[in-house]
A and B are shown apart, each in its own frame.
Chain A
Amino acid sequence: GAVVSQHPSWVICKSGTSVKIECRSLDFQATTMFWYRQFPKQSLMLMATSNEGSKATYEQGVEKDKFLINHASLTLSTLTVTSAHPEDSSFYICSATRDRDTEAFFGQGTRLTVV
C-alpha cells in the first residue's frame, strides 16, 4: 500500500509559538491531502482539504489564519499552527489520496501539546 509520512510524531511547544507539521506521500503523487484533528475520545474532525498548487478549503469554524496549510508539491503538504495556545493541544492527522475516489492513506499523526 501507499505510504504517507507525517513529521513530527509528537511536539511540545510554548504558548504563543508556531509549530509546523509535515505530511509527505512517499511513493505516490497525492492529488489531495486532508488535515484532521482529533480530541481525546472523539471522532476525526476534518479541518481542511488542500489540492496541490491551490489554496486550501477550510471547514466551517476552522481559522485559516491560525492553521496555515501549504500544499506546494504533489508529495508535500504542511500545516502550521500559529500562535499556539493550550486549547490547540490535540492529535493532528493528515491523509492523502491518489485520485478522488480511492482510499485515503493516513500519516502517523502528530500529538501536539502546548504548555
Chain B
Amino acid sequence: GQNIDQPTEMTATEGAIVQINCTYQTSGFNGLFWYQQHAGEAPTFLSYNVLDGLEEKGRFSSFLSRSKGYSYLLLKELQMKDSASYLCAVMDSNYQLIWGAGTKLIIKP
C-alpha cells in the first residue's frame, strides 16, 4: 500500500528553526510537495522537489532523498504566523497526489 508518514504535532519557539520530516512509500514517484494549511483554510503551496537535494525559498527549505523515501521541510526564523499544519504529499506513478495526515506546528513566544 501507499503510505506517507509525518509527525502529528511539533512545538517550536518564535525565532528558532524547526525541521518537519516526511517519509513515504508509494507506487512510483513523480515529485513531493509541501503545503501549509491554516485552520479553516485551503492548503497553500510551499515547495516541490523531484530531484535529490535542497530547495531553498526564503525562510523555508525543502530536502529530498529519493533513495531513502525521505523529505524534510525546514523553517527558519519562526514567526507566530507560521503556526499551521504542514502537509507532505507525493505524486505517484499515476500522477495522483498521496497526502500525509499533516503536522500541526505550534509556535510559542
- The CA of A49 and the CA of B96, in the complex, are separated in Å by 9
Known contacts A43-B87, A111-B40; decide if A105 and B45 are in contact (CB<8 Å): yes
Set A1, A6, A104: member contacting B97, Cβ < 8 A: A104
Q: Chain B, interface size: which category?
A: 20 to 34
Interface of A, secondary structure class, is loop
Interface of B, secondary structure class, is loop
Chain B, Cβ-Cβ closest to A102: B48
Chain A residues within 8 Å of chain B by Cβ, number: 20
Chain B, Cβ-Cβ closest to A93: B42
Known contacts A43-B101, A101-B91; decide if A109 and B96 are in contact (CB<8 Å): no
Residues of chain A with a CB closer than 8 A to B87's CB: 43-44
- The CA of A103 and the CA of B44, in the complex, are separated in Å by 11
- The CA of A91 and the CA of B39, in the complex, are separated in Å by 11
B42 and A109 within 8 A (CB): yes
Known contacts A101-B30, A103-B33, A111-B40; decide if A34 and B97 are in contact (CB<8 Å): yes
8 A Cβ contacts from B28-65 to A: 30-31, 33, 35, 40-45, 48, 50
B40 and A91 within 8 A (CB): yes
Residues of chain B with a CB closer than 8 A to A1's CB: 45
Contact with A along B60-104 (1 / 0, CB 8 A): 000000000000000000000000000100010001110111100
Interface residues of A (CB under 8 A from B): 1, 6, 34, 42-44, 46, 49, 91, 93, 100-101, 103-109, 111
Name the 3 nearest CB pairs between A and B, nearest first.
A109-B42, A100-B95, A106-B42
Interface residues of B (CB under 8 A from A): 30-31, 33, 35, 40-45, 48, 50, 87, 91, 95-97, 99-102
